[in-house]
Structure 1
């Protein structure tokens, strides 16, 4: 399935178009999730971790939760414990990884703009990859851990930039790109590939 295409009236500003898309993000995510086959977290399934496809490898006799490994060049996402808990342990493990990677990016970018982040949350979302409150609280989708690192870093930079510019002005985008030089590539990746991440770990 290709990326969704938005048709806008002649003369519609980019800002108005962005507001329209954001306002219909839940609807779009729902439609895409219905069209794209679900990819449940189960033994033998593939899941991207930091942009690299890993095969889920269940180890029922092992102790622990989740860890990354490799077998003859094939990246593995290993899960211990009973089969009925595989999906939950994969999700929990990816959430921990997402939080660690996002914290590292946020700390670096916040220091660069001399701003304080009051809290950082990683959660399930259906529309936004990240958000920033006027009190400095940042929230992110845990599914960013499935994207390439430069994409996750861009989203972190985007939200940190909102600590300085509470808008999407030209100044905001200049600051975001200064923090994350691959901003244009990351935006394209999210538009083209982002919706598919919401189908991973569902179904089954």
Structure 2
């Protein structure tokens, strides 16, 4: 019996050169895909090529190379990333705060009302600034989410089985069929009305697991700021992925 020829495993990425610049393109193979597609995430700048089951990697390579100019143009529109580092400006509840490192070993991260501008004060060595800021923001968003969930639990008459905070890319919040709520930690960067709206939205799904007219009526009864929050997210949501 002849041996079947096995296809070599796909590489995890392709390196595409255009105008002297090299771009990393992640490779995803999807059996349900009908054609080659390229996508550049407006949030993270990740470039992904999706292949149908039978497409060869060499075909994907040629396709990506032929779209090098398109990739470069899309990446040029992705906002520059802002790491959590000393001196960086980071929004906290919609208000820009400058990260300031204090010469102290107390390990305390706190908000200070500086005379010139709001400050996020971090007491640690420079190598720990990013971790301390991230931990602080995680704690703040969990507190804000807990308060909002308690508020809407009282209004709705029911609450979630649990709340999970993650760094989601495709959605700001979600509600499972089992009644668990998931939210992006990045909501702490947005104005409070946005977090409040997202909590109301997902909690409305506890009663209406759809986007029917009944769902939107219920959401409007829970939260009067639906239009304002959605408009803010449409204008500014992508930029929240710049940070950290």
Same structural fold, with TM-score higher than 0.5 when normalized by the shorter chain: yes
Matches within 5 A, 1:123-202: 123-201=166-244
Instruction: Name the structure 2 match of 1:9.
Output: none
Q: Which moved further from structure 2: 32-41 or 81-90?
A: 32-41
Q: Does the aligned pair in 2 maintain the 1:41–1:90 contact within 8 Å?
A: yes
Question: Is the helix fraction higher in 1 or 2?
Answer: 1
1:29 counterpart SS class: coil
TM (norm. structure 1) is: 0.82
TM (norm. structure 2) is: 0.69
How far apart are residue 60 of structure 1 and its match? 3.2
Match of 2:92 among 49, 59, 71: 49
Unaligned runs of 5+ in 1: 1-24
Instruction: Name the structure 2 match of 1:105.
Output: 148
Unaligned runs of 5+ in 2: 1-38, 47-73
CA RMSD of aligned residues (A): 1.9
Instruction: Name the structure 2 match of 1:29.
Output: 43
What is the CA–CA distance in structure 2 between the aligned matches of 1:47 and 1:31, rounded to whole Å? 19
Match of 1:58 among 78, 101, 116: 101
2:155 counterpart SS class: helix
2:160 counterpart SS class: coil
Matched, 1:91 2:105: no
What is the CA–CA distance in structure 2 between the aligned matches of 1:125 and 1:26, rounded to whole Å? 17
Larger radius of gyration: 2
Matched, 1:115 2:129: no
2:43 counterpart SS class: helix
Question: Is the strand fraction higher in 1 or 2?
Answer: 2
Cα distance change, pair 56–30 in 1 and its aligned pair in 2 (3 A):
closer
What is the CA–CA distance in structure 2 between the aligned matches of 1:154 and 1:39, rounded to whole Å? 26
Q: Which has the higher contact order (CA 8 A, sep 6+)?
A: 1
Cα distance change, pair 28–46 in 1 and its aligned pair in 2 (3 A):
closer
Q: Does the aligned pair in 1 maintain the 2:83–2:130 contact within 8 Å?
A: yes
